[in-house]
Amino acid sequence: MHQAERPLLAIALRLAAMSMLSTMFMFMKLLGENGVSMPETIFWRQAMSVPLLLGWLFATGRLRLLATRRLKAHATRSVIGTMGLVCNVGAAVLLPLPVATTLGFTGPLFAVLITALVLHQTVGKWRWTAVALGFAGVLIIAQPGSSDIPPMGLVFGLGAGVVVATVSFQIRDLARTDAPIACVFWFAMFGALITAALLPFYSQPHEPRVWLLLVGTGAAGTLAQTLMTTSLRYGQVATVVVMDYTSLIWSTTWGWLIFADLPPTATWLGAPVIITAGIIITWREHVLARNISATSALDEGSIEQASARSRGT
């Protein structure tokens, strides 16, 4: 059954999702400062999602939504998505949270590059201009030659953007056949299996406080993904994704409250540039999608008119 659009609810859900996502990264940074290894952090982030999602789907009588005939595609998506989590954890640990978050906003820029260079689709001047603008923002933040941004942190941050772009194409393909919640579940399931193989080498005893951080990471991440998925049930992509930039507010707040760390001046200058580029790309994608829909409607109307004429002859 078609879900009626409720844009205000969609925006509220997306805003809540961004607060949870920023909270997850804050927990990950705390885990890194407490000596928890990256494989263990990622394992618990993924493993916690599996029982939470199963319990929620069972309680709502919707376990059937997990059915899929594309386990191989989900596994491939999970491998790439887990690489993205590695980049996110690395960026969160090595960089101030607002800087790591801002570099993650480069996803739309890399999506345009993938569209043009890998998929060989036409990209117009608006999106190319946005890409150039966005990477100018990255240069402002990175300040080549300075020591403010650790090189590996920059690599992790931009790597997260590349993975976000790549996964967006995979999810778009999987969404043609599978429910969005199935994409979330199988990503967590395969991700947990992948990282579980590393636990014998990296796991270690933890204090109760650290276990609470691990639980919080998994819970916040699961809630963030669920809220993001649900927001798309009630609003168009172009309406809700712009709200993703509010995560910068949360990451700045957590950086200040928890780590007594405010973003450097370069981030205040570069972040608006990257965000503007992302908004231009989102706007342009929305315009192109609307034009394609209008053209399809015209084509269908022409076919129906031709069919009516043929029935009348």
* 2 occurs within a structural domain: no
* 110 occurs within a structural domain: yes
Q: Which two tokens stand for residue 164?
A: 């976000």
Q: What is the gyration radius of the CA atoms in the chain, in angstroms?
A: 21
* 82 occurs within a structural domain: yes
Quote the pTM value. Answer: 0.82
Q: Could you tell me which residues come within 8 angstroms of residue 267 by beta carbon, excluding any fewer than 6 positions away?
A: 96, 98, 99, 102, 141
CA distances to 58, 164, 263 from 149, rounded to whole Å, are: 46, 21, 11
83-135: per-residue pLDDT in tens?
A: 999 999 999 999 999 999 999 888 888 888 888 888 788 888 888 898 898 88
* Residue range of the domain that includes 220: 7-312
- Are 27 and 196 within 8 A, CB to CB? no
Q: Could you tell me which residues come within 8 angstroms of residue 146 by beta carbon, excluding any fewer than 6 positions away?
A: none
223-268: per-residue pLDDT in tens?
A: 998 888 788 778 776 677 788 899 999 999 999 999 988 888 888 8
* 1 occurs within a structural domain: no
* 217 occurs within a structural domain: yes
pLDDT for 147: 60
4-57: per-residue pLDDT in tens?
A: 677 788 889 989 999 999 999 999 999 999 999 999 999 999 999 999 899 989
- Work out how many domains the chain is built from and give that number: 1
pLDDT of 165 > 60? The answer is: yes
Amino acid sitting at position 53: L
